Amino acid sequence: MRNNAEEIPEVINNIRRVYQAITEYMKNAEKITGLTGPQLLAVKLLANTAHLRVSELARQMILHPATVVGILDRLETKGMVTRTRSIEDRRVVEIELTDLGKEVVAKAPEIATVMLVEGLERLPDTEFYQIAESMKRVVLILGAEKITPQPLQSA
C-alpha cells in the first residue's frame, strides 16, 4: 500500500521539475541562438543531413507538416534555411541550412526535445512502455486527451 501523503506530492513535484527543466533549456537556447525551441530543433535536425523534405522534417519533429511550414517560414525570413522545389516532382520541397544556419547550430546548446527522444530510445522496452502508459494516465487525469499537442515554446 502506498502512502499518498508522501507519494502524491513527489509525483507533482517531478512533473514540475520536468516542466521547469524543459523551460530552462529553451530559455537558454533562445538566449544563445535567438531561435525558439521548435526553430532550433528544426535547424539541428537539418544539420544532420544535406537536405530534408518538409514531410520528413515534420516526422522527425513529431509535428504536422503545416506546423513545420510555419516554422520554416520564420527560419527562411531569418536567413537560416532555403527551400527548393524538386525538379522531378514540383510538389516536393527540400530544405537545407544556409551558412548562417550552420553557424547557429554550431554554437547551439542541446535541446530538451532531443534529450528526451534519445533518452526514451535508450530505455529497455519495459521501462519505455511503463513511462508511455503512465503519461497516458496523467493526460487522462487532467482531461487533456482531446488537446492537440503544440510545439513547446520558450516562456
pLDDT at position 3: 63
Q: Where do the domains of the chain lie?
A: 19-141
- Dihedral sign (CA 144, 66, 117, 13): negative
Q: In this predicted model, what pLDDT tens digit does every residue of 74-133 receive, in sequence order?
A: 999 999 999 988 788 777 888 999 999 999 999 998 888 788 889 999 999 999 999 999
pLDDT at position 114: 81
Residues 6+ away with beta carbon under 8 Å from 15: 138
Asked if 74 and 39 touch (Cβ cutoff 8 Å), the reply is yes
pLDDT at position 154: 45
Question: Which of the four pLDDT bands, split at 50, 70 and 90, describes residue 7?
Answer: confident
pLDDT at position 126: 97
Q: Is the pLDDT of residue 14 over 60?
A: yes
Tell me phi and psi for residue 90, to 5 degrees.
-65, -15
35: its cell numbers: 531561435
Angle, CA of 86, 36 and 106, to the nearest 5°: 70
pLDDT at position 152: 61
Q: What is the pTM of this model?
A: 0.72
Fill in the DSSP letter of residue 123: S
Asked if 73 and 62 touch (Cβ cutoff 8 Å), the reply is no
Q: Is 56 exposed, middle or buried (0-12, 13-18, 19+ CB in 10 A)?
A: middle
pLDDT at position 137: 95
pLDDT at position 93: 83
Q: Is the pLDDT of residue 143 over 80?
A: yes
Q: In this predicted model, what pLDDT tens digit does every residue of 46-76 receive, in sequence order?
A: 998 878 889 999 999 989 899 999 999 999 9
> 19-141 belongs to which CATH class?
mainly alpha
Question: Which of the four pLDDT bands, split at 50, 70 and 90, describes residue 155?
Answer: very low
Q: Is the pLDDT of residue 153 over 80?
A: no
